């Protein structure tokens, strides 16, 4: 008979147990993305970046052919990490770039969280490669996109079949917070939710404005 304990599950993310890799959020990649509206994509990428920054999660930023073809990484990400170097690759599969392997090993986390463009190429490649090497892999699916709904969905299915765990951008933020009594990150979590959390953010604005409401803490 299982015994219930007031403790989080081992597959839930916390700020110190994973490396977030944001991949190819670039103009040229976004132009052909049809599975998600580009405004929503940029919003979700900003939410993820701000969550990682707020909770000091290990983060790798990487682009492909930035100077010659694909353009710079979304400013929503770069402005959140203004002093962090971006690794620019030639490989479509991020995991095949030796500099990424060195950085992943330096950071020393067993869980890898991925988001980027396109899902079927730039996310499937590192996801399947990391899984094959024994890492746990999470994919923030609404901070990814592809050339069609079909391409995005089949890519997600393929990764899930191999053991990747899909999640969303707001879920990532709230999973890192996980307890409203954590006052040191409470204000930033609420601010990020208001700025990028869609209807949930509007609800927070309403509750605070109308009756001084707040998440229990």
Cβ contact 125:119 at 8 Å: no
Supply the pLDDT for residue 216: 61
The boundaries of the domain holding residue 140 are 18-175
Residue 13 in any domain: the answer is no
Q: Indicate if 196 and 102 belong to the same structural domain.
A: no
Q: Please tell me which residue in 58, 100, 121, 122 is annotated as part of the active site.
A: 122
Residue 168 in any domain: the answer is yes
Write the CB contacts of 162 (distance below 8 Å, at least 6 apart in sequence). 127, 128, 131
- Is 122 annotated in the active site? yes
pTM: 0.95
Phi, psi of 25 (to 5 degrees): -75, 80
Q: Indicate if 85 and 134 belong to the same structural domain.
A: yes
Q: What totals of helices (H) and strands (E) does the chain contain, helices first? A: 9, 6
What integer is the mean pLDDT of 130-138?
A: 98
Residue 138 pLDDT exceeds 90 = yes
Q: Indicate if 150 and 188 belong to the same structural domain.
A: no
Annotate 87-114 with DSSP letters as a single string.
Answer: EEES-SSGGGSHHHHHHHHHHT-SEEEE
- Give percent of the chain with pLDDT exceeding 70: 99
Q: Indicate if 156 and 193 belong to the same structural domain.
A: no
Q: Indicate if 167 and 201 belong to the same structural domain.
A: no
- Give me the residue label for tokens 């609404």: 142
Q: Indicate if 171 and 183 belong to the same structural domain.
A: no
The tally of domains found in the chain comes to 2
Give the whole-angstrom CA distance, residue 154 versus residue 145: 12
Vertex 56: Cα angle to 66 and 78 (nearest 5) = 25
Q: Tell me the pLDDT band of 128, cut-offs 50, 70 and 90.
A: very high
What integer is the mean pLDDT of 145-174?
A: 98
What integer is the mean pLDDT of 16-35?
A: 97
Residue 155 in any domain: the answer is yes
Supply the pLDDT for residue 212: 77
Q: Indicate if 104 and 124 belong to the same structural domain.
A: yes
Write the CB contacts of 68 (distance below 8 Å, at least 6 apart in sequence). none
Q: Supply the DSSP symbol for 120.
A: I
Q: Indicate if 35 and 102 belong to the same structural domain.
A: yes
């Amino acid at each position: 008979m299982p015994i219930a304990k007031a403790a989080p599950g081992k597959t839930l993310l916390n700020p110190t147990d994973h490396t977030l890799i944001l991949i190819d959020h670039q103009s040229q990649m976004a132009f052909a993305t049809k599975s998600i509206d580009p405004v929503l994509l940029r919003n979700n990428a900003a939410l993820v970046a701000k969550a990682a920054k707020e909770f000091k999660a290990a983060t790798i930023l990487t682009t492909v052919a930035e100077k010659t073809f694909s353009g710079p990484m979304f400013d929503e990400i770069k402005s959140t990490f203004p002093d962090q170097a971006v690794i620019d690759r030639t490989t479509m599969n991020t995991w095949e770039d030796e500099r990424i392997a060195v950085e992943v090993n330096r950071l020393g986390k067993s869980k890898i969280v991925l988001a980027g463009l396109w899902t079927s190429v730039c996310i499937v490649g590192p996801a399947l490669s990391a899984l094959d090497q024994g890492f746990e892999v999470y994919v923030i699916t609404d901070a990814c996109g592809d050339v069609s709904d079909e391409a995005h969905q089949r890519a997600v299915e393929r990764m899930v079949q191999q053991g990747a765990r899909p999640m969303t951008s707001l879920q990532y933020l709230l999973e890192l917070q996980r307890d409203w009594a954590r006052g040191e990150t409470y204000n930033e979590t609420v601010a990020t939710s208001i700025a990028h959390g869609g209807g949930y953010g509007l609800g927070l604005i309403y509750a605070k404005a109308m009756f001084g409401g707040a998440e229990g803490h």
